[in-house]
Structure 1
Amino acid sequence: MKQSERIGAKIAYIFSHNHRYIERALESYNLKGPMFAFLLTLSHKDGCSQECLARYLKFSKATATRVITTLEKQGYVYREKDEDDRRIYRVFISDEGRGLIPAINSALQEWNDIFLSDLSDEEEQIFRNLLDKTKNTLVEFDRKSSKQMKNNYQISG
């Protein structure tokens, strides 16, 4: 590290503010925590399995089940057993849930506008490029780690 700064602390601060802003903006819909992320994902990946949702959003299966159960009780999603594999539940966004997508997108856009307000267009583009680059680094790290874990399991299993 070039300085004794903790990048993780800055990222955590930004994440915390993002989380609070989105929760406040969506509180009238009773959406808390990652619930909005599940609805957004289902709006373009409707019918995927609970496990697929958990993996895609990087949540545990238990967290995904809790979130989906809550969204189902609120009438925003529904589940159906997969016709080919009865052990799998497919999750679908309801019409009521789909109706929340514009409000979610609006809240996210408002947050982005606030968050990026002090950056010039050029600085914003550089920032976005750096975020993409670091995200891609982590995706590759996850891929290699997953491959290594599979190899270790095969050797010991």
Structure 2
Amino acid sequence: MKQSERIGAKIACIFTHNHLYIENALESYNLKGPMFAFLLVLSSKEGCSQESLAKYLNLSKATATRAITALEKEGYIYRERDDADRRIYRVFISGKGRELLPVINDALYKWNRILLSQFSDEEEETFRKLLDKAKDTLMEYDKESDQKHK
């Protein structure tokens, strides 16, 4: 298989460009790596545990802990111990973090416009459907994989 035919290499290229664009756009807010993704998830799933955040974002517990610690240091989130299970921390978005959501969404919107700028409306719709189909296939693969390892 030729390098140019490798789907993974093309996905990696898009991922790398996405990562660099978002990190540059949010640099002045001291958001690095997946930190912005935690804020987006917390905006709709406030109060979830660190572990469930890591699982939802498909990140290791260590990566999630580092990101959450950094976000807390910046004042974008805060943690509280769970009343029922003191081993669990619940994570909440702060007012400062909530103010950042429009900035994050604007950066993501601009990135999407760049990525899709050469697509017709029909091509964009097809591209999105194919990405959803690929994502769903991988989610199902993960679920089956998890069941085999139990």
Q: 2 CA distance for matches of 1:133 and 1:67?
A: 29
1:140 corresponds to which residue?
140
The 5-angstrom pairing of residues 1-157 of structure 1 reads: 5-150=5-150
TM-score, scaled relative to structure 2 = 0.97
TM-score, scaled relative to structure 1 = 0.93
Unaligned runs of 5+ in 2: none
Q: 2 CA distance for matches of 1:5 and 1:79?
A: 45
Deviation string 1:2-23 (CA, Å, 9 cap, x unpaired) is x971110000000000000001
**One-letter amino acid of the structure 2 residue matched with residue 6 of structure 1:** R
What is the count of residue pairs matched by the alignment? 150
Q: Which has the larger radius of gyration?
A: 1
Superposition RMSD in Å:
1.4
State the 4+ residue runs in structure 1 displaced beyond 2 angstroms: none
**One-letter amino acid of the structure 2 residue matched with residue 93 of structure 1:** I
Unaligned runs of 5+ in 1: 151-157
Deviation string 1:29-84 (CA, Å, 9 cap, x unpaired) is 01010000001000110100000000000000011000000000000000000000
Q: 1 CA distance for matches of 2:97 and 2:81?
A: 20
Q: 2 CA distance for matches of 1:50 and 1:42?
A: 11
Q: 2 CA distance for matches of 1:141 and 1:14?
A: 22
Q: 2 CA distance for matches of 1:59 and 1:4?
A: 29
Q: 2 CA distance for matches of 1:67 and 1:99?
A: 18
1:46 is paired with a residue of what secondary structure? Answer: coil
Deviation string 1:69-116 (CA, Å, 9 cap, x unpaired) is 000000000000000000100000000001000000000000000000
